[in-house]
């Protein structure tokens, strides 16, 4: 595997389910990010981890819970989501905070 | 408040018809401006980083420029494979990124 990988690629869940999104980067980067991309809206930065410590949390609802067990892996735990949370969730990594980000292919989430 | 606006929202070009995409911004302290390309069903792919006004970067048919208020992505003699959504993003420090809504480019053969 190379670059940034995300699983699953597609996820359909009910509002009462609990699921997790997984991201793995094979680039040796120090920072990892979760973004939400909805139709007609700009990418919204949700969480940032640098060297496994959370450095940014942009007022994201508590039904989204990130976890970064090491510098290569990032998870987004989901519970009791709302239909408006349906979107493309993108993971990215970068070497430093001001360098280019490498994105994964995303997880297309549908909340019924 | 830091803001990014991209225009036009959508653009259709004939193959070989050069044009420019605009990214205008207001920011308290610009640390970097990034351009990405995004194909349908994929994550954004990095194109350029510009750090200071007057800076220019080129890659194949693309050239990015930066002033104190805006950035342009110039596309020279585009081909159908250049069709994608082009995103710009501001970086203002300490992991503060703001993305624009993008320009959807369609190049017709």
- Residue B96 is predicted with a pLDDT of 86
In the predicted model, what is the mean pLDDT of residues A37-50?
A: 93
In the predicted structure, residue A5 carries a pLDDT above the cut 70: yes
Percent of chain A with pLDDT over 70: 99
Contact B31 A92 (CB under 8 A): no
Residues of B in Cβ contact (< 8 Å) with A56: 94-96
Q: With contact defined as beta carbons under 8 Å apart, do B105 and B76 qualify?
A: no
Q: With contact defined as beta carbons under 8 Å apart, do B68 and B28 qualify?
A: no
**Ranges assigned E (strand) in chain B:** 3-7, 10-14, 19-26, 32-38, 45-50, 56-59, 62-66, 70-75, 84-91, 97-99, 103-108
- Residues in chain B, total: 109
Separation CA A74–CA A23 (nearest Å): 5
Which residues of chain B have a pLDDT value below 50? none
- Residue A54 is predicted with a pLDDT of 86
Work out the minimum CA distance from B2 to partner chain A, whole angstroms: 14
In the predicted model, what is the mean pLDDT of residues A78-103?
A: 94
Q: Is A102 exposed, middle or buried (CB count within 10 Å of its CB: 0-12, 13-18, 19+)?
A: buried
Work out the minimum CA distance from A94 to partner chain B, whole angstroms: 11
- Residue A41 is predicted with a pLDDT of 92
Question: A23-39, pLDDT tens digit by residue?
Answer: 999 999 999 999 999 98
Q: With contact defined as beta carbons under 8 Å apart, do A22 and A73 qualify?
A: yes
- Residue A1 is predicted with a pLDDT of 63
In the predicted model, what is the mean pLDDT of residues A68-96?
A: 95
In the predicted structure, residue A58 carries a pLDDT above the cut 90: no
In the predicted structure, residue A59 carries a pLDDT above the cut 70: yes
Residues of B in Cβ contact (< 8 Å) with A104: 43
Q: Which band of pLDDT confidence, cut at 50, 70 and 90, is reported for residue A15?
A: confident
- Residue B76 is predicted with a pLDDT of 97
Strands A31-37 and A44-50: antiparallel
Percent of chain A with pLDDT over 90: 80
């Amino acid at each position: 595997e190379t670059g940034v990988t995300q699983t699953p690629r597609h996820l359909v869940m009910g509002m009462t389910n609990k699921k997790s999104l997984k991201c793995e980067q094979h680039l040796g980067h120090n920072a990892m990010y979760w973004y939400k991309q909805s139709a007609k809206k700009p990418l919204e930065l949700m969480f940032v981890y640098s060297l496994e410590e959370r450095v940014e949390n942009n007022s994201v609802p508590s039904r989204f819970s990130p976890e970064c067990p090491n510098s290569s892996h990032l998870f987004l735990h989901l519970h009791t989501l709302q239909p408006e949370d349906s979107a493309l969730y993108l993971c990215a990594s970068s070497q430093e905070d001001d360098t280019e980000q490498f994105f994964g292919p995303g997880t297309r989430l549908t909340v019924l | 408040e830091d803001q990014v606006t991209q225009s036009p929202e959508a653009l259709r070009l004939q193959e070989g018809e050069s044009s420019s995409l605009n990214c205008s911004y207001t920011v308290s302290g610009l640390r970097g401006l990034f351009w990405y390309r995004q194909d349908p069903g994929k994550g954004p792919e990095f194109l350029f980083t510009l750090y200071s006004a007057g800076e220019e970067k080129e890659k194949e048919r693309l050239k990015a420029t930066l002033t104190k208020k805006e950035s342009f992505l110039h596309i020279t003699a585009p081909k159908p494979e250049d069709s994608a959504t082009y995103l710009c993003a501001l970086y203002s420090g300490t992991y503060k990124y703001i993305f624009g809504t993008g320009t959807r480019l369609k190049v017709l053969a």
